[in-house]
Structure 1
Amino acid sequence: MRAGWAEARPWQTNVALGLIGLGMIAVARQLVVEEDHYVLGHAAVSCVHLGLYLAALLVVWLRPANVDRWTFGVILVVAVACRLVVLFPPPVGSTDVYRYAWDGVVQHAHINPYRYVASDPALAALREPNQDLYDSMNRRDYAHTIYPPVAQVLFYLITWISPTVTAMKTAMMLFEGLTLWGLVLMLREMGLRREQAIVYAWCPLVMWELAGAGHLDATAMAFIVLAFLFRYKEKPGWVGVFLGLAFLTKFYPIVLFPALYRRGDWKMPAVIVGMTVGFYAMYLSVGKMVFGFAGTYVQEEGMESGTRYFLLSLVQHVPGLHGTPNGVFLGFAAVVMLGVTVWAWVVATPKDAKPMAFLRPAFGAAMALMLLFSPHYPWYVAWLVPFLCLMPNLPVLAYVGGLFYLCTTAMAVGYGPKQYLLNEYLYGTVVAAVIIEVILRQTPWTRGWFLPSTDDLPVLSSAVAP
C-alpha cells in the first residue's frame, strides 16, 4: 500500500489534501453553528475534525516525495480559510478573550489593570461603552487579572487599534502566522519539507482554541518558535529576548530555559532577568497586586490541594496509598524536571553541541510539564503542537488529539470522577501510542518508516526531503 501511494503524482496529493481541506472548512462552519444551537454536538464535530486532520497527516506522511510547489499553497489556503470562518463569530468554548480586551480598555483609561476587579465601582465609567466585554467576562466579580506584563502590553496595543474581541482574535491569528513562518524556516534548516508544517497549520486544537477562542497562547508559541530559530543561529541575546517575551506572556515557557541555554553564555539569562524587572516595573504602582489572581487561581485550579494532578490521583487509587500527600507528588515532579534539566545540560548546553541538539530536551521539558500537571483546558497543551511539527511522534499526537476530543465530551466537567475518567482514557491512549510506536520501530516492514535517532534530525523519515 505504501509503495502504491509513493508512486502517485503530486497532483493527486494536492487533490486529496484539497478534498480533506474542504471537509475541514465545512467542519469549521459547523462549529460556529454548534456554538449558536445544538445540531450534532461538539463531540461529534471535534471527532470528524480530528479524523480529517489525521487523514491529511497520512497523505503527507505516506507520500512525502509527491508534492510540488502547489502543495504548500493548498495547506496555507485551507489553514487561512478555516480560521476566517471562526474569526468573526463569538469565541469558541471560552470567554478569556473578553478579559484580554477589557484589560486593554482599562489601560487606555490610564488605570493599572492589576488594581481593580472588573466589577469595582472605580471602573463603572468603562462599562457602558464596553458592555459586551464586561457582560461576557468570566470571574469579573472577584478576580483581578492574572495575565503577565508582556500580555498586558499586547492587550494595550491591540485595543489601541480596536477595543473589540474580533481585533483581539485577529491579532492572535497574526501571531499564528508568525509561528507558521518560524516553523517553515526551522523545517528548512532541518532539511525537511515545508509541507510538514501541516501538523501545525491544520491542527484542530490550534484552530479551535487559538483562532476560534483567541487564546493568548498564540503569542507565546510565536515567541517560542522565534527563540528556537535564534538558538539554532547561536544568537543568545535574541534567544533571551524571545524566551523572555514568552515567559512574560504565559509563564510556563520558562521550563525551556535549560534546553535553550548555552554553557558560558551570560547574555540570555541577563536579558531575561532584565526584561522581567523592566516589564514588571511598568505595573509596580500596585505593589504585590501585580501578580494578580495567580494565588487564588492556584487554589481554584486544585494545584494547592493536589486535586488537579491526575498522576497523584492515580497513586491515591492504589490500596494503601490513599493518603499520599500533595507535597510528595510535587517533590516527585521536581525530581523529574531536575532530571530533564540535567539531560539538557549534558545534551544541549555544551559549546560543541550540534545545532538542533536543544530540541529533544526542550520537547521533553514541555511534555513532562504537561503530563505532570495534567491541564484540563485544551489550549494549555497547544504549545506542544510546534514541537510535534518539528519532531512528529505518535504518543504526543495521541495526547494532543485525545485531550482535544475528550474536552468536547461530557467528561470535561472540571474535577471529580468524570475528570479522572477523562484522564484515564487520555493517559491510557498515550501509553498505547508509546507501545505502538515501539512495535512499529522494531517490526522489519515498518522500521524503515523511521529515521535512526540523531541529534540533528529526530523526526520521521517520511517527512525528510530528498
Structure 2
Amino acid sequence: MIRILAGPSRRLAALGILLAGINLGALALHVPGADTVGSPARANAFVAVVTVGLAVYLLAVRLVLRERLPRAAVWMILGLAVAMRAALVPAPPFLSSDIYRYVWDGQVQAAGINPYRYIPADPALEPLRDPAIYPLINRKDYAHTIYPPAAQGVFAAVGQVSRGVTGMKLAMLGFEAMGVLAMLAVLRRAGLPLERILIYAWNPLALWSFACDGHVDAVAVGLLGVALLARTRRRDGLAGALLAAATLVKVLPLAVAPAFVRGGRLWRPVLAGIAVIIVLYLPYLGVGRGVLGFAGSYGTEEGYDTGAGYWLLAGLGHLGFSPPGLVRAYLLCAGLALAALALRIAFGRNDRPGTADAVALCRDAGILAALATCAASPHYAWYYPWLTLPAVVAPLPAVIWLGAAPLLLLIDPFDDRFLWPVLVFVPGLVLAARAAWQARRPRPAALLPQGTAR
C-alpha cells in the first residue's frame, strides 16, 4: 500500500480525487427539479467548473504516459472511474433530453409497435404516455425516431425490464464498461501499461455524456472496444460484425472500417458486417423508407444543407464567402481526403506483427475517427468522447484533445457554429499539425514509446 501511494501514484491519486471533487462541484450547480442546469448563468458556471476538470484530466493523462506506475495503480484508476460515474447516475439528465426518447422507443417496442411508425404525439400512442417520460421527449410533435436499428434493439431490451431513465443509464454504462474491459485486454496483448485506460475512463466528457445523460453513444463505445479486441485476435469476421453493429448505433464508427481491413483482410469482415446490417434492419422494414426515421430532416434542422452546420463553412460565412455549391465542394473535398487516407490505410502493408499491429490498428482507427468527426463537426458534445477509446492504445495528442475538449460545446455564448467551437477545433488542428511535422523525422521504435514495455 505504501508503494502504491508513493511518488507518481500519489500524484495520480491526488489528481483523481481532485477530478472527482470538481465533478461533484459541477453537479451541485444543477437546480433540483430543473431539466437544464437552471439558467444561462449557471450553465456558464457549470462549463467553467468542468473545464477545470478537463485541465486536471489532461494532467493525469500526461502523468500516465510519462511516469512509471506500479501495476496496482490500474485498480485505483478503475475504482475512481466507477465512483465518479456512480455519483452522476442518480442525477436527472440535465444537459440533454435524448434519453427520454430512448425510454419512449423502448416502451413503444414493448407494446409491439414499430418505433419508426409514429411520432410520439400521434394519437395511436396515447395509451403509452406517462407524466415522467412523455412530456420531456424532444421533437415529439413532429419527428420520428432517428436512432438506427442496433440502438433500437438496446432500447427494446431495456424496455422489457425498466421504464425509467436510471435503467437506461445503467444499460449505457454496462456497454461502456464492456468497452473499457476490451481495451484493457488490448493493452495487455500489446504489452502496454494498463494504466493507460485512464485516457478513456477519466475523460470528463465521457462521464457527463454517459453517467449523467445516458447517451446511446456508449453502446457504440462498447461495441467498438470489443471490435478492436477481436481484430487484434485476428477474429476478422467478428470484428466486422461488431463494427457494423456500432455503426447502426451512430454512423460515425463506420469511418474506422479501413483500419480493420488493413493488409488485405477484407472480405470476411465486410461480408460479416453486411450480414449484421441486414439482420438488424429486418424487424423494422415494415415501415418501408420510414425506417430512416428523422435522419433526413435532422440534417436540414442542423444546417448541414446550407453549410451553416459545418464549422469550417460557418467560419467562411463570417468572411462573406458562401458561393453556390460550397457545401457540395466541401463534402467532395472532405470525402476525397478521407477516401485517400482510407485507401492508404486499408491497402497498406500489414508487416507489424504482435504489439505494433495493435498499436497501428488503434492509431489508424483514432486518426480516421477524429478526421471524420471533425469533418462533420457536430456541435453536440457527446458525439466526441468515443475518440478517446482507441487513444488508450495509441495516445495521439490531437485525438485525446478532440475526445475531451468538446465539454466546452455544452454552451454556446455567441449562438454561433464557428466562434465558440474555435476553442475546440483550432488546438486540435495545431496538435495534429505538430504530430504530422514530427512524423517527418524518423524515430526508432516510434510506435512504442520508451518505458512502455513492462
Q: Structure 2-normalised TM-score?
A: 0.89
Q: Which residue of 1 aligns with 2:12?
A: 17
Q: Which residue of 2 aligns with 1:465?
A: 453
Q: Which residue of 1 aligns with 2:21?
A: 26
1:282 partner letter: P
- Tell me, in whole angstroms, the C-alpha distance in 2 between the residues paired with 1:343 and 1:403: 29
Q: Which residue of 2 aligns with 1:277?
A: 278
Structure 1, unmatched stretches of 5+, are 1-7
Q: Which residue of 1 aligns with 2:190?
A: 190
1:217 partner letter: D
Structure 1 424/125 Cα, relative in aligned 2: closer, same or farther at 3 Å?
A: same
Q: Which residue of 2 aligns with 1:142?
A: 142
| Mapped contact 1:340–1:364 kept (Cα < 8 A) | no
- Tell me, in whole angstroms, the C-alpha distance in 2 between the residues paired with 1:348 and 1:293: 41
- CA-to-partner distance for each residue in 1:354-407, whole Å, 9 max, x for gaps? 733433332222111112111111111111011222211222233333322243
For residue 441 of structure 1, report the CA deviation from its aligned partner: 8.4
Q: Which residue of 2 aligns with 1:420?
A: 418
1:53 partner letter: Y
| Mapped contact 1:31–1:45 kept (Cα < 8 A) | yes
Q: Which residue of 2 aligns with 1:5?
A: none
- Tell me, in whole angstroms, the C-alpha distance in 2 between the residues paired with 1:39 and 1:316: 28
- Tell me, in whole angstroms, the C-alpha distance in 1 between the residues paired with 2:183 and 2:191: 12
- CA-to-partner distance for each residue in 1:121-153, whole Å, 9 max, x for gaps? 11111113xx21111111111110011111111
Structure 1 352/39 Cα, relative in aligned 2: closer, same or farther at 3 Å?
A: closer
Alignment of 1:51-450 (within 5 A): 51-63=55-67, 65=68, 67-128=69-130, 131-261=131-261, 263=264, 265-316=266-317, 322-323=323-324, 325-347=326-348, 355-356=357-358, 357-408=360-411, 410-411=413-414, 413=415, 418-434=416-432
Instruction: Out of 230-239 and 74-83, give the one that drifted further.
Output: 230-239
- 1:141 aligned counterpart, secondary structure: coil
- 1:111 aligned counterpart, secondary structure: coil
- CA-to-partner distance for each residue in 1:85-110, whole Å, 9 max, x for gaps? 11011114111111111100001111
| Mapped contact 1:149–1:248 kept (Cα < 8 A) | yes
- Tell me, in whole angstroms, the C-alpha distance in 1 between the residues paired with 2:345 and 2:390: 16
- Tell me, in whole angstroms, the C-alpha distance in 2 between the residues paired with 1:320 and 1:153: 44
For residue 309 of structure 1, report the CA deviation from its aligned partner: 1.2
- Tell me, in whole angstroms, the C-alpha distance in 2 between the residues paired with 1:379 and 1:320: 30
- CA-to-partner distance for each residue in 1:325-374, whole Å, 9 max, x for gaps? 21111111111121122111232668989733433332222111112111
| Mapped contact 2:4–2:73 kept (Cα < 8 A) | no
Structure 1 29/390 Cα, relative in aligned 2: closer, same or farther at 3 Å?
A: same
- Tell me, in whole angstroms, the C-alpha distance in 1 between the residues paired with 2:436 and 2:333: 26
- Tell me, in whole angstroms, the C-alpha distance in 2 between the residues paired with 1:375 and 1:253: 14
1:47 pairs with 2:51: yes
| Mapped contact 1:97–1:168 kept (Cα < 8 A) | yes
For residue 55 of structure 1, report the CA deviation from its aligned partner: 2.3
| Mapped contact 1:97–1:165 kept (Cα < 8 A) | yes
- Tell me, in whole angstroms, the C-alpha distance in 2 between the residues paired with 1:203 and 1:299: 31
Q: Which residue of 2 aligns with 1:3?
A: none
2:216 partner letter: L
Structure 1 461/42 Cα, relative in aligned 2: closer, same or farther at 3 Å?
A: farther
RMSD of the TM alignment (CA)? 2.7
- Tell me, in whole angstroms, the C-alpha distance in 1 between the residues paired with 2:365 and 2:401: 19
- 1:35 aligned counterpart, secondary structure: coil
| Mapped contact 1:315–1:322 kept (Cα < 8 A) | no
2:427 partner letter: T
- Tell me, in whole angstroms, the C-alpha distance in 2 between the residues paired with 1:34 and 1:137: 23
Instruction: Out of 9-18 and 187-196, give the one that drifted further.
Output: 9-18
| Mapped contact 1:101–1:133 kept (Cα < 8 A) | yes
- Tell me, in whole angstroms, the C-alpha distance in 1 between the residues paired with 2:347 and 2:259: 10
- Tell me, in whole angstroms, the C-alpha distance in 1 between the residues paired with 2:433 and 2:265: 39
Structure 1 236/214 Cα, relative in aligned 2: closer, same or farther at 3 Å?
A: same
For residue 226 of structure 1, report the CA deviation from its aligned partner: 1.1
Q: Structure 1-normalised TM-score?
A: 0.87
| Mapped contact 2:85–2:207 kept (Cα < 8 A) | yes
| Mapped contact 2:61–2:198 kept (Cα < 8 A) | yes
Structure 1 355/14 Cα, relative in aligned 2: closer, same or farther at 3 Å?
A: closer
Structure 1 461/214 Cα, relative in aligned 2: closer, same or farther at 3 Å?
A: farther
- CA-to-partner distance for each residue in 1:202-222, whole Å, 9 max, x for gaps? 000110111111011111111
Structure 1 451/209 Cα, relative in aligned 2: closer, same or farther at 3 Å?
A: farther
For residue 451 of structure 1, report the CA deviation from its aligned partner: 6.6
- Tell me, in whole angstroms, the C-alpha distance in 2 between the residues paired with 1:320 and 1:91: 39
